[in-house]
Structure 1
């Protein structure tokens, strides 16, 4: 991209995207991924409205996650094949239709069809991350990706708070109407503000570009290591956020759903605090940032484990955990995008598939462990997964040091 390029009258910075456009991408990516998580606090209301048995309503979340995982493989790689500006706008417009379908649904088949398409198209958030990396100057790529990724993490954390509040005021359908309205505005804004010119697209077809996602695992050791780290850190993330509602809503704490949702604000503060990690990655400190952040992730389970002594300890732990997860996540993406700049959408898909696996595994494991061993068991599980991530980083660092010594020798 030409260093003097301007985006619809907004001057670009250092040959990349203008800061207002980066912030718009962050907001829209957070809004898009939040669509996957809105249903969590709405399950009771949806079950009552459609007369679905409480034991079966959890399928709403399962369907959303399954189709989100499918979208990572089938839709995100298209960013290396098609014009990203148009692709993002079209996917967001289709999301508006899906959200409205959910909002006005009057039967279970229509509800589940809408929910499935919402999950499938929510991966546009990852297309935005790849676009942010592609449109950025190499020297600013980590910072830009960090800001956009912060929007995604904050969207995940605040989705439950927003959905719970709107549900209490206006009913569960208002959540999807609200999201549809903002998504429509976001699609128009991004279409107008994202750069029209892009680098030359790859010449291979759709099927080959999807299959090439798996070839990236074979060709890029950095992708294999960083994808495994993503799986572990987001497993730890899900272990906390899935199980946390159980002790908070039960005696002796017995907090309201609104109060529980407010913990998302603490998590968002931690995610925002980690946005500087992308800049450090740009400066060459990616490995050090990863190690320090993974150590913080492990330490965070100490105050989290002290929940019953004081909720304040949990707040501290939530901030530390989300800071650490976000810092490693941004650093991971910064490193893999350097490896193959022409395949950023496929790299995003390959990386985020492991994120999805970790998130699902953490959610399933945390509820089972809580039923078996209570909150203490959940904390030990989270600490074990976090410790494994730190050991993986240490092992990879050891191998890199040996390679360096062999070259120097």
Structure 2
């Protein structure tokens, strides 16, 4: 499950080290390529809203295999892009199709024992985050050697291989609400938002944290391609490998959330992320400052994200796909906003503007964290033994 999450989610992030190269190929500016990054995340948010709830209605393995086929076709569409408009549209479609990780994660939570749910989710999420970070490294190296189009051609082949692997390895599932209509299923998410304060609060925390994360990764290629660095896409992609340590920490973060309090680790993640952007602002023109900041950023965002999911999966066992949909739609709406505003900040004020934008998002998250206090009833996984 962790491997499937990593390979499938990678499609959303191949573009980030390649944005400068893609901008040159399409003869557009940095701001326009920032819009392409934003559209991929906006498409993902739409796909989460429309497709992930179907995981509560249908047999998950067949649904996952079908969605992977759609991802493979979308990757080929990006590869063949003849113009900026085509690239933007196909990136949006690719994002909308790449929802497989959010079918796998709640499935993993369902089969996990209650006392180990945080650890299991953390393990699957570690695969997901390794996929995100490794995608940047792989696409940077492939893009530098073979061109950015080859990256998406190879991705299409990988998706076909993953379809075959999942068809023969993932167990069949029993639909949780096979008798419920699709419109009623979508409408039921409004009830979840209304009735579950923890879900609402975690959605805000996640959205702001991923917005800050996207501010950085959307603009990194532009920053590193200019003085004093002047790096090519293969070196930019290596920054993704630096953050793999944060992904490796996910199972321990989840286990700690099981033992103590997921809310406590969410706050810790926010503080680490704030420290990362302060370092980017102060020492963002040095390689040491960038490396230290990347490590703190990836650990901080991972710490917050895994802990948020540990909390929400304890709320409604019979509706985990829909609970995850509400959270992840907010999460990627935040990411889309971060990509858009990050690109704008870069165009207007350069790297200092990017650092300030990231700090602003984290401060909003910290403000929401403080205002929500104990945030209503606590799910079973957050109840500490005395």
Smaller-chain TM-score range?
A: 0.7 to 0.9
Q: How many residues align?
A: 375
User: 1:84-120 CA distances to partner (integer Å, 9 max, x unpaired)?
Assistant: 1221122112322333344456688876665443222
CA distance in 2, matches of 1:164, 1:140: 36
Q: Which moved more, 1:101-110 or 1:211-220?
A: 101-110
SS state of the match for residue 251, structure 1? coil
Corresponding residue of 1:317: 293
User: 1:45-66 CA distances to partner (integer Å, 9 max, x unpaired)?
Assistant: 66777xx442466664454333
Q: 1:308 to 1:359 in 2, by over 3 A?
A: closer
The answer to whether the aligner puts 1:350 opposite 2:347 as a matched pair is no
CA distance in 1, matches of 2:35, 2:215: 19
Corresponding residue of 2:352: 376
Q: Under a length normalisation based on structure 2, what TM-score does the superposition of the two structures give?
A: 0.87
User: 1:3-59 CA distances to partner (integer Å, 9 max, x unpaired)?
Assistant: xxxxxxxxxxxxxxxxxxxxxx2222122122122234445666777xx44246666
Q: 1:122 to 1:338 in 2, by over 3 A?
A: same
In structure 1, the gaps of 5 or more residues are 1-24, 402-409
Alignment of 1:5-20 (within 5 A): none
Corresponding residue of 2:247: 271
Corresponding residue of 1:17: none
Corresponding residue of 2:131: 155
Q: Is the 8 A contact 1:146 1:278 kept in 2?
A: yes
Q: 1:199 to 1:102 in 2, by over 3 A?
A: closer
Q: Is the 8 A contact 1:274 1:324 kept in 2?
A: no
Corresponding residue of 1:54: 28
The answer to whether the aligner puts 1:386 opposite 2:333 as a matched pair is no
The answer to whether the aligner puts 1:129 opposite 2:98 as a matched pair is no
In angstroms, what is the RMSD of aligned CA positions?
2.6
Q: Under a length normalisation based on structure 1, what TM-score does the superposition of the two structures give?
A: 0.83
In structure 2, the gaps of 5 or more residues are 378-386
Q: Is the 8 A contact 1:80 1:202 kept in 2?
A: yes
The answer to whether the aligner puts 1:67 opposite 2:50 as a matched pair is no
2:166 to 181, 186, 190: 190
Q: 1:301 to 1:100 in 2, by over 3 A?
A: closer
Larger Rg: 1
Q: 1:221 to 1:126 in 2, by over 3 A?
A: same
Give 1:377 deviation, angstroms: 3.2
User: 1:119-148 CA distances to partner (integer Å, 9 max, x unpaired)?
Assistant: 221011211112111222222221111122
Q: Is the 8 A contact 1:270 1:318 kept in 2?
A: no
Corresponding residue of 1:307: 283
User: 1:292-330 CA distances to partner (integer Å, 9 max, x unpaired)?
Assistant: 222222222232223356311221111111101111101
Q: Is the 8 A contact 1:33 1:156 kept in 2?
A: yes
